[in-house]
């Protein structure tokens, strides 16, 4: 059951809308950059995260490799998809921009082939 407080709040939120433009922009920045580096994924249409295939068979090993570049991702095995990783773009735009060189370095270390 939903807590009573949340039930009362929902009534006040009816008709509210969220501007998704910033999410689309951040999605496109990450998707385009990672795809160009050779990461394989489906472009999301409604989520706030990407779910790329890990270039390493062991997604936990990939998460550790990403940490060396201060990239925080979640292993896909936690969602029942071994060999993938989840990357949220519900962060400030500047955080996404600042992450791009780190992804480039990580892709180079792992020998990804640019698209």
List, in sequence order, every residue forming a beta bridge with 88; answer none if it has no partner. 49
| Measured CA distances, 101 to 1, 30, 43, 82, 98 (Å) | 45, 11, 21, 26, 7
pLDDT at 62: 98
Say if strands 74-75 and 49-50 run parallel, antiparallel, or are unpaired: unpaired
Backbone phi, then psi, for 88, in 5-degree steps? -85, 145
Residues 84, 52 contacting (CB under 8 angstroms): yes
The per-residue pLDDT string of the chain (115 residues; one tens digit each, 9 = 90 and over) reads 667 888 888 888 888 888 889 999 999 999 999 999 999 999 999 899 999 999 999 999 999 999 999 999 999 999 999 999 999 999 999 999 999 999 999 999 999 988 7
| Measured CA distances, 59 to 24, 27, 45 (Å) | 26, 21, 24
- State how far the Cα of 14 lies from the Cα of 52, in Å rounded to an integer: 34
List, in sequence order, every residue forming a beta bridge with 49; answer none if it has no partner. 88
Among the four given CATH numbers 1.20.1240.10, 3.90.1150.10, 3.40.50.300, 3.40.50.1860, the one describing domain 18-109: 3.90.1150.10
């Amino acid at each position: 059951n939903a807590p009573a407080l949340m039930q009362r709040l929902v009534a006040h939120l009816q008709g509210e809308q969220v501007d998704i433009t910033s999410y689309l922009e951040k999605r496109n920045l990450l998707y385009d950059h990672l795809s160009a580096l050779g990461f394989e994924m489906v472009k999301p249409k409604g989520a706030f995260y990407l779910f790329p295939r890990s270039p390493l068979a062991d997604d936990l090993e990939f998460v550790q490799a990403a940490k060396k570049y201060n990239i925080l991702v979640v292993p896909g095995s936690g969602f029942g998809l071994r060999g993938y990783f989840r990357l949220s773009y519900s962060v400030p735009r500047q955080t996404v921009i600042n992450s791009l060189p780190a992804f480039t370095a990580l892709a180079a270390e792992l020998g990804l082939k640019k698209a």
